Structure 1
């Protein structure tokens, strides 16, 4: 996600979960706003409207975060009596995902929610849906062109790195550490999301006069996290802080730390898994914080698709249309606020 798109609308923090902004209880009675115009478009978004069918497609649940995406979408759809939810088989095969989306287009669903396995590869079929009059809510992995979606909603990768860097920088500065040794366990390096996360981390640390001392990339898996962290621990006999980009691979990262009997540093996780939050709450490991990349975005995507298909806007906004871009804020979760975020965590 580019910085330009990231800053177009930082509205996601207000719609995390199944309620919030999308179902705000704004009265249905027309009223005058500050400018004197009658506001008749707002209303209670949770109130039933015309019945709509929402198609859903996502990759195979081979990762805790992706599994939570599908669960959140299905759970949200069940909240509405005016929605028929039509998911297709989850797959990491691009050709199969394209074919399944084409099936939904042929069925003339009222809206589509799509988390593409590969945004570039699925752009053409998304455009076919849009050209057929079916609005597409593009979830997280962005299509190549805005012509492929009516609305994009996703996480803030740069913001994740920024939040992690702010936490690490402030904690070390408050402790009076002058030249800290800071490690970074990144994700897949050729992905733009990994590059954005690393850039946010680097730039936030720079505010405190710090920099990353050792950085290695993993593959978003437990096995790769364990191997990479083992390498870092062997290379650096002393660390002050570590940021791991992903809580799923963090299971392996923490296993390596335990095996090496190291505890002189603190660690920040990424994405906001429930197991990571439980460790933070217990406060008995090096993991002291995680920065969120909420899979609840899938629930919000279904809610947005419903409103778009019904021709409604968001009840707490003056505008009559659902926004075109929504970037979810990355929250910093510590033992002080973990109880607030734990119900939204996914299982790694």
Structure 2
């Protein structure tokens, strides 16, 4: 059993339902302290609802949830001061300058970073005196990140943190996230950029229709299929013998592919049989390939009837993480 002191988030039998619709149904998930955990899944899969339960904004319907050793629904101000939260979008502080906004947030934490440090980490030093409502979309996103890290959180929730950022700034923020991890910060990252998850995450979990359908390191996600390479080519009379002994798939109208964990040996055998192989291509799978295969397999198993419906409360309501839309759950937690 994993030491509770090494665990940042522990969930078991965790559900969240709205009426007869189950939004989250996670049998077990343990996120270790100090790791970057990537949470992947299509829109409406339940990722945001799970994160909001961890943050204490939504009350689970059933099950156990512990975040930094505390039930989020009863966590007080001292527990909240250990969290950093970067939501998908914020609309506060428009009449403050960038430095004033970060300084305001810093005042809620017992041992915050200096405003100057938070601005430097997010490339906002030159914009310190600019009004927030004069920022571009990408600049606002960097301000969200500065507000999320200024309190020196033990646990940082990043919800699509690099959306709207240009590639250069995005890469610099990846370096910042690596630095936070190296300093011991636990990070839960939700993103639709699979290259981002592959670059940053120690482990990734894939959520679909509220369920955790896969959990592994990025290079091992999806099990055997994720670790195979596709060798494709145009078949000929010389390669027919090989195709008769292998499982193969149609790539396009005149090319076939064979999945192999030993692509070099397979290519050598093709050359032995047919000399120069027409249209030969060797494609190693990416995290995106594994992710899409998992989602496709889950959708097929879940059934076409469910696949054509919104998979969660979020999908039905175009759910966004605003205070107004959390009112019911927040009032329930506060009572």
**TM-score, normalised on structure 2?**
0.31
Larger strand proportion of the pair: 2
Higher relative contact order (CA 8 A, sep 6+): 1
Give the structure with higher Rg (CA).
Answer: 2
